[in-house]
């Protein structure tokens, strides 16, 4: 939904201008706190997600390292969503 909204806004800007060069290479998706809570409440994956989120938001680290942590968090979110419900007791 967010991406559809962004595309709509960009289309409007493009129509309003003579030339619009759009660079979307650095555009990233980040899960919200609610998304993370859904991963694995109080479990191993939840703990890993917390670590990755802390790394991604740690201003003392380099941009590349923070970006990797953010990407890893997204990947964890996608993978956990894929394996959701497969936990055995």
Residue 76 touches other proteins, criterion: CB under 8 A? yes
86 binds other proteins (CB under 8 A): yes
User: Taking each helix axis from N to C terminus, what angle separates 63-83 and 44-56, rounded to the nearest 10 degrees?
Assistant: 160
Q: Of 11, 13, 29, 79, which lies in the binding site for other proteins, with binding defined by CB under 8 A?
A: 79
9 counts as binding other proteins under rule CB under 8 A? no
Query: At CB < 8 A and 24+ separation, what contacts does 30-38 make?
Result: 30/56, 30/70, 30/73, 30/74, 31/73, 31/74, 31/77, 35/77, 36/73, 36/77, 38/81
Whichever of 9 and 84 has its CB closer to other proteins, that residue is 84
Q: Is 28 in the site for other proteins (CB under 8 A)?
A: no
Rounded to a whole number of angstroms, the minimum distance from the CB of residue 47 to other proteins is: 4
């Amino acid at each position: 939904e967010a991406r559809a909204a962004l595309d709509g806004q960009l289309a409007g800007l493009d129509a309003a201008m003579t030339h619009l060069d759009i660079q979307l290479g650095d555009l990233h998706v980040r899960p919200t706190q609610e998304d993370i809570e859904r991963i694995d409440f109080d479990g191993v994956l939840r703990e890993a997600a917390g670590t990755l989120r802390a790394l991604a938001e740690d201003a003392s680290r380099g941009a590349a390292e923070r970006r990797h942590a953010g990407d890893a968090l997204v990947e964890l979110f996608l993978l956990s969503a894929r394996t959701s419900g497969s936990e055995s007791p």
